[in-house]
Amino acid sequence: GQLAYKGPNVFPGYFRKPDITAKSFDADGYFYTGDLFRIEEEGYVSFFDRCKDIIIRGGNNISAQEIENMLQAHPKVMDVAAVAMPDERLGERVCLFVVPKDKQQIPDLADLTDFMRKQNIAVYKLPERCEIIEAIPRNPVGKIIKSQLRQLIVTKLKAEGTIVRE
């Protein structure tokens, strides 16, 4: 679940950002980090993923990081990002943005899903769309700017007439 904590070491809120503060703190003063953790054996807690990097397909939670880590090992993939793409029936579906290693051997959706199937990934986690791009957008510290990719796929779906809502 999501890590939430409070104490004297927790800041009281975001400076001049009451909307973000309201979303990040509950009524009891707990700060919600946006990070998902697991309780492991012997009571240890380990980081799992960011809440925002979860794709919810038909009620199933899919870790974008899990998909990305798996596909980084694909021989035709230089870089990859997985994002949620809106879907009228399932809520969200997995969309990949892929930078190929070689412009002469561009992976397609079938290449990528076959690769994932061979690694015994659950069927509901398989991507349903693949967009080939020149570079994955990243911030100055190298983190993928997923909001840009989500907006890009929404724009494409609207242009195709395959989306009604975001």
| Secondary structure (DSSP) of 17-50 | -HHHHHHHB-TT-PEEEEEEEEE-GGG-EEEEEE
User: What is the pLDDT, as a whole number, of residue 42?
Assistant: 87
Regarding beta strands 91-100 and 129-132, do their DSSP bridges make them parallel or antiparallel, or are they unpaired? parallel
Average pLDDT, the chain: 89
The band of 1, judged by pLDDT with boundaries at 50, 70 and 90, is confident
Local confidence band at 43 (pLDDT 50, 70, 90 cut-offs): confident
The answer to whether the beta carbons of residues 13 and 31 sit under 8 Å apart is no
pLDDT score, position 58: 92
pLDDT-derived band at 164 (thresholds 50, 70, 90) equals low
For residue 90 the two structure tokens come to: 């399932």
What are the beta bridge partners of residue 113? Answer: none
Q: Is 68 helix (H, G, I), strand (E, B) or coil?
A: helix
Share of the chain above pLDDT 90, in %: 60
What predicted TM-score, i.e. pTM, was given to this entire model? 0.71
Per-position DSSP letters for 106-166, written without gaps between them: ---HHHHHHHHHHTT--GGGS-SEEEE-S---B-TTS-B-HHHHHHHHHHHHHHHT--S--
Taking residues 84-90, what's their average pLDDT?
92
Distance CA 39, CA 137 (A): 33
pLDDT band at 117 (very low <50, low <70, confident <90, very high): very high
